[in-house]
Amino acid sequence: MNWNRNFLLLLIGLSLANIGDVLYMVSVISTIFARTGSATASSLVPFTITSSMFIASLLTPLLIGKISLNQLLAGSQIVKTILLVVLGFLLLWITASNYYLVLVNIALIALLDGCAKPIRQTLIPHYVKSEHLIQANGVAETVTQMIQSMMWFVGSLFLMVMSSQQLVWVVGGLFVVASIFLCFLETVHHKPSEPKAKLEQINEGWKTLSHTPVLRKFAWIDLFETIAGTVWIAAILYVFVSNALHVSEKWWGFINGAFFLGLIFGSVFCVKFTSFIEKKLGTTIFIGLFLSSTITFLFSLNSIPIVALLLSLCVGFFGQIKNIPQQTIIQTSVIKAQLATVYSSLGAIGTGTFGIASLMMGLLADLFGIRIVFVISALFLAIGSAIVYKNKQLFVSNVGE
């Protein structure tokens, strides 16, 4: 792959920002739990973030077109840095009675994250030649998953040697450097075909999804896959480890780590075997979904901890070899000017579905037992694979200019 300046700036800037995002969440969750002693209060952190990102996904199209995409990304990171400084001071004096102020702050940060996420995915095909898209997406996903898998552990270690507030100042430094890298990105303008009313701007991505057959299928697949993926959240997996595997809570960390390791292996696989995957995009997506479904079903039946580790790794692996070809097809299925609004709409589907499905899976686990939710997850993944199989002629790369 030809490593160009803009892709490297984007990758480094976003990697530093992602590291900071995990560390500040570790800090906030730790502080709120320490001040309130409430697990419910701590759980409001991911709920607040998800809700804000959903709202941002709906409203982002209003900003696209008014400012260049790279400036929108850099600007959101700069404002995040300012809000993080405010957070650092808030952590000095929050108590059990006013911790909601921290939630307001992280809600604003998550709004900016929700705005930036579709921009990040949109910029890659602007900065990378079409023949290198699978490799670029694979590299970006590898780095992202490595950060996600490592930084929660690293953040916990940091809290052993420094306070939550000090960790936030470290994150502030990372955000400053990330902002600098993103400020040097080459200008990329979103060029709407004609002026649109605000409601039309919000609906633009949804219209593109509904009018583009392959994107319409991906929207349904993402819906089913997001529902399926909620069984891997901490609350569900922790119960499975305790009630189905009958081992200590440390196995939750092992299984979660194996899942992320599988994601990394899947990304590396896509980078290494790009030429093969490019010829078989639809087949790769189908295999990824079908085997994820099969392995999730086997996971639901299993009672052996070591086998659970292996199955979790395989779910992550096959899930990722489905995700990267999917990104490539999305990035080449419409003209580049439509990508940001398309990703905003897909992001809204993902975050909105995740919040509702998480509650639904928790309720089903309480009513029918923890194993049944993994069976349901496997069923939804099977539905996704059936959609790909029935419409395999749609799942090809079409370079759009």
The average pLDDT across 323-343 equals 87
Phi, psi of 64 (to 5 degrees): -65, 130
What pLDDT score was predicted for residue 241?
86
The average pLDDT across 377-393 equals 94
What pLDDT score was predicted for residue 400?
43
Distance CA 73, CA 69 (A): 6
CATH class assigned to 5-189: mainly alpha
pLDDT band at 197 (very low <50, low <70, confident <90, very high): low
Assigned token pair, 289: 């979904």
Least confident of 101-105, 160-164, 267-271, 304-308: 160-164
Tokens 């590291």, located at residue: 19
What pLDDT score was predicted for residue 19?
93
Distance CA 268, CA 281 (A): 16
Most confident of 271-275, 337-341, 386-390: 386-390
Is the model more confident about 249 or about 264?
A: 264
How much of the chain, in percent, has pLDDT values that exceed 70? 93
Q: Using the predicted structure, report yes or no on whether residue 269 has a pLDDT greater than 90.
A: yes
* CATH number given to 199-394: 1.20.1250.20
Q: Using the predicted structure, report yes or no on whether residue 281 has a pLDDT greater than 70.
A: yes
What pLDDT score was predicted for residue 80?
95
Distance CA 198, CA 65 (A): 12
Q: How far is CA 157 from the centre of its chain?
A: 24
Question: pTM for this one?
Answer: 0.79
Amino acid 388 reads V
Q: Residue 123: name the closest of 6, 268, 20 by CA.
A: 6
Q: Using the predicted structure, report yes or no on whether residue 401 has a pLDDT greater than 50.
A: no
What pLDDT score was predicted for residue 146?
85
What pLDDT score was predicted for residue 395?
85
Task: Report pLDDT digits (tens) over 199-244.
Answer: 677 788 889 898 999 999 999 999 999 999 988 876 688 788 888 9
Is the model more confident about 177 or about 261?
A: 177
* Domain range summary for the chain, segments of one domain joined by +: 5-189, 199-394
Tell me, letter by letter, the H, E, C secondary structure of 215-279: HHHHHHHHHHHHHHHHHHCHHHHHHHHHHCCCCCCHHHHHHHHHHHHHHHHHHHHHHHCHHHHHH
The average pLDDT across 11-40 equals 85
Q: Residue 226: name the closest of 271, 289, 280 by CA.
A: 289
What pLDDT score was predicted for residue 104?
93
Q: Which helix (H) or strand (E) holds 113?
A: helix 100-127
Least confident of 64-73, 233-242, 340-349, 363-372: 233-242
Residues ≥6 apart with Cβ < 8 Å to 76: 112, 113, 115, 116, 119
The average pLDDT across 370-399 equals 90
What pLDDT score was predicted for residue 356?
85
What pLDDT score was predicted for residue 362?
82
Assigned token pair, 138: 């694979």
The average pLDDT across 83-88 equals 92
Q: Using the predicted structure, report yes or no on whether residue 308 has a pLDDT greater than 50.
A: yes
Assigned token pair, 140: 């970006």
Identical fold at 5-189 and 199-394?
Answer: yes
How much of the chain, in percent, has pLDDT values that exceed 90? 37
64: helix, strand or coil? strand
